Structure formats: structure tokens, C-alpha cells
Structure 1
Amino acid sequence: MSSLLQILFQIVTNTPLWVWPLMVLVVWLGVLGLRSRILPLWRLAILPVVGLILSFVGIGQAVQPALALVAWLAALAVALPLGTLLGRRRTVRRLDDGRLEIAGGWFMLVFGLSIFAVRYALGVVFGMAPALKADPSWIALAGGVGGFVAGLGLGWLAGVGGRSGRWVRRVRWAPAIFLLAVAAGFGSVIAFSSPGELPRLLAGDSLPGMSTWNMAELPPVQRVVVRDGAPLTYRVYPARADRAVVLVHGSSGTNISMHKSAQALQAAGATVYSISLRGHGGSGMANGDTSYRDQLDDDLMDFVKAVGLTDPKIHKTLIGFSSGGGFVLRAASGANRQAFDAYLAISPFIAQDSPTTRPASGGWASVAVPRVVALTILDGFGLPWFQGLPVVRFATASGPSETRTPVYSFRLAAGLQLSRGWRSEIARIDRPTIVAVGADDELFRAELYAPLLKELNPRISVEVVPGLGHLDMIAQQRACAAVASLWRQLSGESGT
């Protein structure tokens, strides 16, 4: 019994604060509905509209929004006539001034409590078992329950309003008006939601100690041409021919930012190919954009072939930092994961809703969440429309150039990271993989990587380097040496 009470206590204390005002609102409106009233129709529409909006929010938060929307529409079609029948049973009289005199009843209270109970119950279930968020049956169940509740409310409203002759004529146009309003709202979100400006972070424009670097040590820029004819730029740090590392930079940067890491890996014996991802550092056709969502995956495979890394005698490791670390985890869990023998993610961005991510990534990134949700829903239906629109802005004062990428399009951002089903993707990583993070990271919560990854995939080991922040992991000698040591461990070298 005590354990049950403890669980209940945890559920209540971890409930977002906005839930309680919502509960008070729906209960208050429901209690008012118990007695006869005279009121305009729009007042009756409040709870059904709340139910509709919350069901849309649930669709937008789903890992597979298209599946949730299909289940929502199916449940809506079932619930609408049922709600209409319930509404027609209520005694209603239309007054001369257009208001309705409606008899009291239990529907509004029960309906309001169901809105609250459904959202709360799903939140508790997904909070206690996060893996269910990616389960298709649960996605469909959540979408269907939301559609059923919304359908009951809208049907009841139509049934009540339809008791007056004038409203019957209006109701005939309701589906068309509703769909038009949804389309207009959807389009407005895509058109007008954009990433906000952020105060400049000094670290966004320069790495610690970069002013003291000897730039003469930088290898020359080289290029390969990939399948669409676009160039990819990279630098080579030669060492052993049978030990190769493909090194990926972080958000908004280029291969130059990984110079110290590349030098440490080279000294440890790795031939390092430090690349600039498409949309960065002169790679691709446009700054901050790709041509389609999964293009970075294709670019990586084209690069491996172009520089001769397909030989099975070469031990290959993919290493990336920050957003590049997220790309490493994406590659390690993707269809081409066999292309590399090992993976090393340095201070990786896992997902916006990962417990390791601080709000706004510690002030580094501004995300146009409504636009992302809308474009994700379209993408779920196989409609890659408007994906060139910007959705992420970084806290840098620099404009677009070959040394800086301040804004990401939807398709670049989506192609650089794990999907909304990131938990299941991490769980299927089966190649040797290490995550390294500085204990004092300002963008991510270093202390939460180990428990999260232990839960999702115990095969992934986590190394926390004490006393180092986010950018220190690619700029400080001690951090670069630690990364080189971890690479030697992954590659089977002696002296680790």
C-alpha cells in the first residue's frame, strides 16, 4: 500500500501546473450545466472546443502524427452521431434574441471531466512507460480516444443547436467551415511560426582558445562530389591507413571547429576525415538547408565510398560533437549502421524532449515548435511541403557564410538528429558505442546521460569528463586526449 501511495504522490507532484487550472475550468463549466440556463450558443461551445484543441495537441505530440490523425478521424466519425443524439435529447428553446434556454443535465460535467481524465491518464501512462510513445497501437489508441472525446463534444453541440430551425441550416455548413478553419489555422502556423531571435552567446562565435591556434597546421580543404552533384568539403589528418575516423562538427559550425579533436585522434594513430556537413562550410547547394530530409544520411554513405573507406580491412569509427553527436547516434541506429565499426558521440543532442536537454539548449537554440509540428504532420502523410522553411536559429551574431550556419531548415534539422521515436532508435544500436560528455556542460544535463542510456540500451557506455563544459570537449587538450583514448578503446588499440 505504501508503494502505491508513493507512486500516486510522484504522479501528483510531477503533474504540470497548467493541468490544475484546466481541471478547475472544466469542473466549473460542468457544474453550471447542471441547472437550466439562458446563454448564447458560443458559451456552450467552450468545452467542445477545448476538447478539440487538446486532441489536436495530442496529435502534434505523437511520434507518428499521421497514424494518430487517422485514428482520430475514425473515432471522430463514430462519436459525432452519438454526441448528436445526446444533444437532441436535451430540452432547448431558442429565444427571440438568439440565445438558447437549455435545461440542466449531466453531460457537460461528465464531458469536461473526460477531457481532463483522458489527457491526464495518457500523460501518466507515457510518463511511467515512455517507450509506449513509439508503440503504434498506443499512438492509435491515444489519437482515437482524443478523436472520440472531440466527436462527442462537437456532436452534442450540433444536436443542441440543431433544435432551432435557423441553426439546422447553419449546421449543414459546419463540416466545410470546420475543415476550412483547420486548413487556415494549419497554413497560418506554417507561414508565420518562425524561430525567435536569441541573445548572442560569445561561445557561439568562437571556441575557447581558438585565437591561439596555429592556423598553418590546418590541412587544406578537399572536396568530393556526391550523387546530386553537390560538393562536400573536408580536411584529412593522415596517420594509419587501417584506422579511419570520420569526424562531424556541431550545430552551425564547420570542420575547422574539430581541429584540436582531429589532431588528438591523429596523434593516437587515426587517419581523420573531418567533414563539413551539407549546408555548412561550403558543402551542398545552400547554407542551412538540404534538398530532402534524409540527405545527410545519403551524403555520409557517398563520402565513405568517395574517399575509399569501403575496404573491410579498415576499422572505421564515426565521431561527432553536439548536434554532430546526435547525428552519430542517428547513424548508429539507422539502416546504414554497418558502414562503421564503432561510434563515439561527444556531448550529443539526443532530442528536444530528452531529459538530457536543457530548455532552449541552454540558450543556444530557438525552435519554431508550432511550425515543426505542422511540417511533421505533413511529412507523416508523405507530403514534404515547405520543408525548406527555417525552424531553428542559433545564438550567434554571424550571418550565413562558409564558416557559420546560423539558421537550419526543417529538413536539415530533421536529417541531423534522431526522430521522434528516438527511444526505440537508441535501443536498437548494436555496434560498439560510447557517449562522452563534460560534467559541466551548459547545454545538456551531463548527469542524466548515464541513467537514460542504461535504461534504453545498456550496451552504450557513458564517460563523464570532470571539470569540462560543452565547447571544452572539442577545444581543451584534456578533453581531446580523453576522446582519443576512448577511440583507441573502440578500435581495439593497446595502451588504452
Structure 2
Amino acid sequence: MSQPLQIVLQIVMNTPLWVWPLMVLVVWLGVKGLRTRTLPLWRLGILPVVGLGLSLVGIGQSPRPALALVAWLAALAIALPLGFLLGRRRAVRRLDDGRLEIGGGWFMLVFGLSIFAVRYALGVVFGMAPALRADPAWTALAGGVGGFVAGIGLGWLGGVGGRSSRWVRRIGWGPAILLPVVAAGFGGVIGFSTPGELPRLLAGDSLPGMSTWNWAELPPVQRVAARDGAALAYRVYPARADRAVVLVHGSSSASISMHKSAQALQAAGATVYSISLRGHGGSGTAIGDTSYRDQLDDDLVDFVKAVGLADPKIQKTLIGFSSGGGFVLRTASGANRQAFDAYLAISPYIAQDAATTRSDSGGWASVAVPRVVALSILDGLGLPWFQGLPVVRFATASGPSENRTPVYSFRLAAGLQLSRDWRREIARIDRPTIVAVGANDELFWAGQYEPLLKDLNPRISVEVVPGLGHLDMIAQERACAAVTALWRRLSGESGT
């Protein structure tokens, strides 16, 4: 038996039994439609309603239902007038008893077989290549095909029955109104949904002990150029040339906030590069914004090359705090994971729906959720429009400055975080990784990190430091010593 024939046989054998009676029903209804017949009004809508129902089931089963729904609505709006024109060409007469006398034609048979063929073909494709179900292009294609089939059926129903029944005409044309309504709703959400103002939260805005710092010890800001020519700002704390740490600050802050952590790591022998991410601390071209969603990932690669850390002889660790800790996990699970030998996330933000996240991050962040949802849907469609709009505001009393970024755009916020598929991303982290958090963290639930990460990826160690809050983890001497000990463990240094 040839290989193509074997594949066909396997597909047929693995087809659910209920599919075959459905095909028989579809063919029977289609054949009946080849000749002139008299039938009750409700029977006219059987196949269009079946097509509508199956397409809606497909949206519900999609891993990206919002993207599938948008594609479905767009295709529905295109197909409705086409179906209506086909329906208007069919001869139909209403009898005195309310039934319809409708002329024969090929539409019902072709339409019915199309419903079956589309659903069956997509089932076969996704069965043979399950990964395609989560692919945005295939999600949009599946939703669009379902919407097109449903639109042809409903439009045809409106064209045939609309001349004799007002409610059929409404069924046929009503969905066409949905597209401009949805588009207007999208525009309103994107235009008017903004992050709300918050009272200042000391636990996120006031770095303990900063007033006692010896500012003469703070290294000057240096800069290198990213691939787009924009400057990336950083401070260097020199020590051993073969042991390097790239240190990432938390949300709304800059490299200056990581000064005490950098000093402790430097004293332990690490050459520390405390960076200011683009949109912060003088990096990039605009406070609180990037040029595209994944630009922070590209900046990190550019920075490593520019300061000479690409040498494989250098043991490199990426350490980040809070949102910077989330960026550490994003990097450890992403395409740039090979750039570092080890990862340490301090009090990391994981995701809005993670068990570790308090409501509104403990009062630190206000998120324009409707705008985020709308922009995420557009992004899923491959349309990165309006992503420079603000979506997150932090509970700081400071305005925009070189050391403070009170508002994030959509693309900056998205580029700092793990994606919506964060569980799978954490599960694929394969390099030495530790998460550390203060037991009294005010922004996150410290006790939830270990059970969450143990379930997703047992390779990730979790260390809870007793008696410390959120900002304590980068400012208090005991916390900095604990972080240094964890770095030593990751880098294979003595003194652990």
C-alpha cells in the first residue's frame, strides 16, 4: 500500500463516528434541494443554522478565541452580501398556508458539503500538526473560513426568505451590523480606556536607606549604541573579568535603584553591569516607550555584544528585580536564553493571572485592561497599531525623568513580560535559575512562588528571605547578602 493511501486510511479510521451521519444528513438535505419543493419556513434555515453553530463551536474550541472571533466577524461581513445575492436568484413563492415553494438548485448541496469539508479538513490538519492550532495565522484562517461559510448561509437565507418573511430578512442581515459595531467599540476602547491615577505606594516608590548612600560611590552613566543607533545607558561596577552580572531594575525605575545590589555582587567578585532598559534612565528615545514590542530582547543582545560579554570564557548571569525579574524569566525561556549561563529573578512579576500576583500588584500598578485586550487582539492579527499608547500607570509621586518612568506604553509593558502562554514558557527554562523573594513582599504573594514554580518547572529553585518586603530585596544589607550567596551558587563560586 502506498504511503499517501496509508495516510488517507489513517485519517478515515481516526475520524469520529458521528461525522459520517452528519455527512449523510448534509448530502440528503442538499439532494432534496436539487428539485422544486414545498416546505415550512423553518426547514429553510436548517443548513445555515448548522453552519453558524459549527463555526461558533470552532471559535469556542480555539486556543485564541478573541483572534478567531475577529477573523470570523470580518469574513462574515464579506460573505453575507454574497450569500444574499445568491439567495435572491432563487425562485420562491409563498403559499396561502405559509409554506414556501422554492425552485431547485445546487446551492444547498454545495453549501452543505462545504460545511462538512471545511470542518473535516481543519480537523485533519490540526490532528496531524497540533502546533498549528496555536499559530495566529492558522487561528485566523480557521475563524475566517468558519465566518465565511456562516455568512454565505445566513446571507442566502436572507435573500431567499426575506421576500416573504421579515424575521428571516433580519436573521440574514442582522449579523452584518456586528462588524461596524465591533469596530466602533474597538476604536472607543482603544481611544478612551486609560490607566487610572493611584495614590503613592511607599512599598513600591520609596527605596529604604537611599538617603544615607555615599553618592561618591555611584559609578557614572556610560552608553553604548543599540542596532537602531539609540543609546543604552548603564553603570559598571568592575571586579573579576571572567565573572559578569547584568543587573536589571524594576518597574518605573532605572539603574540607580540597583546600586546596593550591584555593590554587594561586586564585593563578591562579579563585574556588574547595571543597565537602564530602553524607556528608562536615559536609554532609548522616549520615556516609557519602545519602538516595537520585542525591542528590549534585541537591546539585551546588542548590549552583551557591545560591552564584550559575548566571550564564552566569561561566566554570565542575568539578575533582575520585580518587572526586571519577569524580564529575566522571559529571557531564560526565550530565543536569547543562550546569552547567559544562569538566571536569578528577585521578586519577579510573572503574569496578571499568576497566583503570585496580588490585585493591582498590591496597589502599585493601574492597568487599562480594556485597551490592553483590544491592542492584544490587534497584535494577534499581526497589526501592531496604537501600541505606543499608555496602558500602565504606577503609584509614584514622581513625574517622568531620567530616573523615573511613571507610565508604560503597551509595547514596553508587553516586552518586559512573559507572554499569555507564560506557563509553557516557564516550563521550558532549562538553564540554572533561581527565584528569590522577601517573605513580607507587599506587591506579590511570596508563599505562592514555590508551589507555582514547582508545578511548572521543578528545576527552578525558590528562596524566601524572612522578614523582608518588596523594595527591601534590593536595598537592605541582609537581602543583598542573600542575593549574592545565590549568585555564588549559580556561578559555582566558593563561599556558598
Settle same-fold status: TM greater than 0.5.
yes
Aligned partner letter, 1:225 = A
**What is the 5 A alignment of 1:29-428?**
65-67=66-68, 69-70=70-71, 136=134, 165-167=165-167, 173-428=173-428
8 Å CA contact retained: 2:64, 2:139: no
- In 1, Cα distance between equivalents of 2:311 and 2:268: 21
Tell me the alpha carbon deviations over residues 441-476 of structure 1, each in whole angstroms, 9 at most, x when there is no partner.
Answer: 111111111111111111111001011111110011
**Would you say the 8 A contact 1:71–1:140 is kept in 2?**
no
Residue 378 of structure 1 aligns to which amino acid in structure 2? L
Q: Which amino acid aligns with 1:222?
A: Q
Contact 2:77 2:175 in 1 (8 A): no
1: CA distance between counterparts of 2:425 and 2:132?
Answer: 10
Shift of 1:201: 1.2
> Is contact 1:280-1:405 (8 Å) kept?
yes
2:119 corresponds to: none
State the AA in 2 paired with 1:472.
Answer: D
- Aligned residues of 1:133 and 1:421 also touching (Cα < 8 A): no
Deviation readout 1:80-131 (Å, 9 max, x if unpaired): x9xxxxxxxxxxx9xxxxxxxxxxxxxxxxxxxxxxxxxxxxxxxxxxxxxx
AA of the residue aligned to 2:200: R
Contact 2:73/2:178 (8 A) holds in 1: no
CA contact (8 A) 1:297 1:331 kept: yes
Query: In the alignment, residue 268 of structure 2 is paired with which amino acid?
Result: A
1:186 counterpart SS class: helix
Instruction: State the SS of the aligned residue for 2:361.
Output: helix
**d(CA) in 1 for partners of 2:223, 2:346:** 25
Residue aligned with 1:246, SS: strand
* Aligned residue type for 1:293: R
| Counterpart residue number, 1:495 | 495
Q: Give the count of matched residue pairs.
A: 398
Residues 276 and 186 (structure 1), Cα distance of their counterparts in 2 relative to 1, 3 Å cut: same
1:226 and 1:348, CA in 2 relative to 1: closer, same or farther beyond 3 A?
A: same
Letter of the aligned partner of 2:379 in structure 1? D
In our comparison, the structure showing a higher alpha carbon Rg is 2
- The SS at the match of 1:289 is coil
Give the superposition deviation at 1:189. Answer: 0.8
**1:175 positional shift:** 3.8
Aligned CA distance change for structure 1 residues 317 and 179 (closer, same or farther; 3 Å): same
Q: Aligned partners of 2:65, 2:408: CA distance in 1, in Å? A: 22
| 1:432 corresponds to | 432
Q: Work out the CA distance in 2 between the residues paired with 1:204 and 1:356.
A: 16
Map Cα deviations across residues 149-183 of structure 1 (whole Å, 9 max, x no partner): xx89x979x98x96974555555643432211111
User: Structure 1: any 5+ residue segments left out of the alignment?
Assistant: 1-47, 82-92, 94-131
**Aligned partner of 1:450: which letter?**
E
Contact kept? 1:62, 1:133, Cα under 8 Å? no
CA contact (8 A) 2:253 2:280 kept: yes
| Shift of residue 70, structure 1, vs aligned partner | 4.7
The gaps in structure 2 that reach 5 residues or longer are 1-48, 84-96, 98-129
Contact 1:65 1:376 in 2 (8 A): no
- Distance in structure 1 (CA, Å) of the matches to 2:77 and 2:427: 34
Q: Which amino acid aligns with 1:429?
A: I
**Contact 2:326–2:416 (Cα < 8 Å) also in 1:** yes
Structure 1 counterpart SS, 2:272: strand
CA contact (8 A) 1:134 1:421 kept: no
Per the TM alignment, residue 136 of structure 1 is displaced from its structure 2 partner at its CA by 3.0
Whole-angstrom CA distance in 2 between matches of 1:418 and 1:75: 33
Question: Structure 1 vs Structure 2: percent identity of aligned residues?
Answer: 77
Note the C-alpha offset of 1:197: 0.9
Q: Which residue of 2 aligns with 1:105?
A: none
1: CA distance, partners of 2:329 / 2:230 = 25
Q: Distance in 1 between matches of 2:73 and 2:444?
A: 35
Q: Given residue 456 of structure 1, which amino acid in structure 2 is its aligned partner?
A: L
Give the 3-state SS of the residue equivalent to 1:482 in structure 2. helix
Flag the 1:356–1:77 CA change in 2: closer, same or farther, 3 A.
farther
Counterpart of 1:85 in structure 2 is none
Note the C-alpha offset of 1:493: 0.4
The question of whether the paired residues in 2 share the 8 Å contact of 1:62 and 1:68 is answered with no
Aligned partner letter, 1:219: P
Q: What's the CA shift for 1:204?
A: 3.9
Aligned in 2, Cα 1:455/1:72: closer, same or farther, shift over 3 Å? farther
Contact 2:204 2:471 in 1 (8 A): no
Secondary structure class of the residue paired with 1:263: helix
Contact 1:186-1:374 within 8 A present in 2 as well:
yes
> Could you report, residue by residue, the CA deviation over 1:237-269 in whole angstroms, capped at 9, with x for unpaired residues?
000000000000000000010000000100111
Tell me which moved more, 310-319 or 199-208.
199-208
